[in-house]
Structure 1
């Protein structure tokens, strides 16, 4: 019976930075998803805005995951060739997303407290 060759690893050490970065981006995407679901809870207060915020937050979570797939590949390749390149656009996107969620959350708390 022929033996299968082991699946090639993206780099030599699976505990290096790319795996930790993937986990942190997945946690952030999960947070964006949970926040979007919280806004759906208050659909009777915000009407159509709740649906719009839900769609935007969910879209940002999907984009964050998609960006992370590319970043993981770049990180693995940079470990193999021992030369890395920073990707500032992903950090800018994530920072903007978190700030947008914070502003929307503060505005929603103010609106709910005024009711």
Structure 2
């Protein structure tokens, strides 16, 4: 286990960002569990959505340490880069899940 990274940010920005990504991971996991209720109505289509949500949650979890480390290093260097790819992926996936959910409800 590596030593904890130290930074001088009194607002603990890297820790708050990590907690936000953790909440996103938990939200994906909870939503995938809620989708189990739709399984009798929509069949295997829902299994695909559940699988995608679980993959998204695991992807966030797997990359969380690297994002935190980059944020702390950016703070100590005085230049923090936004994770544009991760935010764009989350935005597109949530929009896709929302549109798919509305479509399933309207077509049933």
Give the equivalent residue in structure 2 for 1:19: 15
Provide Cα deviations, 1:12-71, integer angstroms capped at 9, x if missing partner. 347421111111111111111111111111111111112111111110111122233211
Larger Rg: 1
Alignment CA distance shift 1:8-1:29 (3 Å): closer
- 1:26-37 matches, within 5 Å, as 26-37=22-33
Aligned residues: CA RMSD: 1.9
TM-score by length of 2: 0.83
Give the equivalent residue in structure 2 for 1:67: 63
Provide Cα deviations, 1:59-99, integer angstroms capped at 9, x if missing partner. 01111222332111100111122222232111111111211
Q: Distance in 1 between matches of 2:93 and 2:45?
A: 17
Q: How many residues align?
A: 106
Give 4+ residue runs of structure 1 displaced > 4 Å after superposition: none
Tell me, which stretches of 5 or more residues in structure 2 are unaligned? none
